[in-house]
C-alpha cells in the first residue's frame, strides 16, 4: 500500500524500518529530535537510512502539510509513537483511513505511559493494539492485538524490550487486514481507561504506601524511563531497584531502619497493610552521581526519606 508514516523515537523507528520493505512509504512525518525535551532523532535517522523523504511537525496542523498529503494521495496513514493528537481532517485524507500501534491492550490504558502504568498497577499482562485512528485518542476500532505477560519482578525496561519485538509483526499483520478491507472491531466500553503523561512529580515515592505499591512503582519506572524517587537530607534520590523484605518492617513510614537483605530497609505502609510493609532499597542514584548500591550510599540509619 501507499503509506504516509507518522512517528517518533525508538518505537517509531522500529516500525518504520519494519514496514518500509513491504509497503511504499511516500513521506515520513516526525517531530524534531528535541520535541518536548525528549531528544530522540530515531525516526529521522531511520528515514535517512531508508532514503525516504522526511518532514517535521509538532502537531500536523500546518495547512501546507495537509495540501501535501492530499497531493500524495496515500492509501493509509500509519502511526507509531506520534506524540500529539492528529487533526480529524488529516485522518480523512487517506483512502483507507489511518491506523496506530498503541502499547497497551485497548480499551484499557489509552493515552500515555501505558507500559509504566500497567506495571505500577500490578497488571500481569500488557501488549500492543493496532487500531483505526479516531478523533478521540486511542478510541478507534481494533484491527489486531499482541499480548505480553508481565512477571512479578519484571521491570518496565524488560517489558519494553519484549514489546519492541512485537511491534513489526503485529503492525504488518494489521496492514494485511486493512488491505483485505477489514474495518476493525469497535472498542467495548467495559474496561476502558485513559492515563496522562508521566512527569517527575508522578514518580515520587509515598512511604505511606504498601511495600507492593512502592516496589511496583520502582519497577514500573525503571530505566530508560523516569525513575521513582524520594528525598534524603533535602536532595532528590533516584531509586533504581528495590524489593520486599521477607518479613514486614513497620514503624514510621520513610524511616531508614537497617542494612539487610542485600540492601537497606526502609519502613513503609501502615498497620492496615499487615505483612505488606517495608521496602529494601537495592540501588540508588543522586542527581549528580552514578548508580550505587544502597548499602554503600547509606552510612547511617535512623534518618528519614521523604
- Give the Cα separation of 135 and 125 in Å (integer): 27
Q: Where are the domains of the chain?
A: 2-194, 201-297
At residue 35, the pLDDT reads 82
Which residues share a beta bridge with 243?
280
SS3 182: coil
Grid cell at residue 261 = 537483605
Decide if 154 contacts 161 (C-beta within 8 A): no
Decide if 6 contacts 19 (C-beta within 8 A): no
Class of domain 201-297: alpha beta
DSSP state of 70: H
C-alpha torsion angle, residues 67, 68, 69, 75 (rounded to 10): 120
SS3 10: helix
- Give the Cα separation of 215 and 152 in Å (integer): 10
Residue ranges in the chain modelled with pLDDT below 70: none
Closest CA to 294 of 281, 278, 305, 306: 281
Grid cell at residue 241 = 531497584
Closest CA to 258 of 303, 213, 306, 193: 303
Q: Where does 2-194 sit in CATH, by number?
A: 3.40.50.170
Grid cell at residue 101 = 500501534
Nearest-5° Cα angle at 178, 176 to 183: 140
Could you tell me what percent of the chain has a pLDDT over 90? 95
Judge whether 2-194 and 201-297 match in fold.
no
Instruction: Write the DSSP string, 113-176.
Output: -HHHHHHHTT-SEEEEEEEE--SSTT-SPEEEEEEEE--TT--HHHHHHHHHHHHHHHHHHHHH
Residue 234: CB partners within 8 Å, gap ≥ 6? Answer: none
At residue 198, the pLDDT reads 96
Residue 94: CB partners within 8 Å, gap ≥ 6? Answer: 4, 74, 75, 76, 77
At residue 67, the pLDDT reads 96
At residue 34, the pLDDT reads 85
Amino acid at each position: 500500500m501507499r503509506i504516509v508514516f507518522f512517528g517518533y523515537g525508538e518505537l517509531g523507528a522500529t516500525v518504520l524500518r519494519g514496514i518500509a520493505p513491504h509497503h511504499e512509504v511516500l513521506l515520513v512525518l516526525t517531530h524534531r529530535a528535541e520535541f518536548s525535551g525528549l531528544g530522540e532523532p530515531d525516526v529521522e535517522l531511520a528515514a535517512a537510512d531508508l532514503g525516504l523523504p522526511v518532514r517535521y511537525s509538532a502537531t500536523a496542523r500546518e495547512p501546507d502539510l495537509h495540501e501535501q498529503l492530499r497531493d500524495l494521495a496515500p492509501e493509509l496513514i500509519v502511526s507509531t509513537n506520534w506524540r500529539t493528537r492528529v487533526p480529524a481532517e488529516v485522518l480523512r485524507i487517506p483512502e483507507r483511513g489511518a491506523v496506530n500501534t498503541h502499547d497497551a491492550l485497548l480499551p484499557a490504558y489509552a493515552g500515555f505511559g501505558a507500559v509504566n502504568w500497567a506495571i505500577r498497577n500490578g497488571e500481569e499482562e500488557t501488549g500492543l493494539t493496532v487500531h483505526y485512528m479516531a478523533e478521540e485518542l486511542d478510541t478507534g476500532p481494533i484491527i489486531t492485538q499482541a499480548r505480553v505477560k508481565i512477571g512479578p519482578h519484571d521491570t518496565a525496561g524488560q517489558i519494553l524490550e519484549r514489546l519492541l519485538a512485537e511491534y513489526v509483526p503485529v503492525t504488518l499483520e494489521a496492514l494485511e487486514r486493512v488491505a483485505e478491507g477489514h474495518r476493525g472491531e469497535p472498542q467495548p466500553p467495559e474496561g476502558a481507561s485513559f492515563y496522562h503523561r508521566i512527569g517527575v512529580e508522578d514518580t515520587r515515592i509515598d512511604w505511606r504506601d504498601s511495600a507492593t505499591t512502592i516496589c511496583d512503582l520502582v519497577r514500573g519506572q525503571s530505566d530508560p524511563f523516569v525513575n521513582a524517587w524520594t528525598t534524603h537530607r533535602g536532595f532528590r534520590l533516584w531509586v533504581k531497584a528495590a524489593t520486599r523484605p521477607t518479613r514486614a518492617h513497620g514503624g514510621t513510614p520513610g524511616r531508614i531502619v537497617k542494612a539487610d537483605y542485600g540492601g537497606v530497609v526502609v519502613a513503609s505502609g501502615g498497620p492496615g497493610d499487615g505483612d505488606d510493609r517495608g521496602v529494601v532499597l537495592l540501588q540508588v542514584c543522586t542527581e549528580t552521581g552514578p548508580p550505587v548500591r544502597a548499602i554503600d550510599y547509606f552510612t547511617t540509619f535512623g534518618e528519614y526519606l521523604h
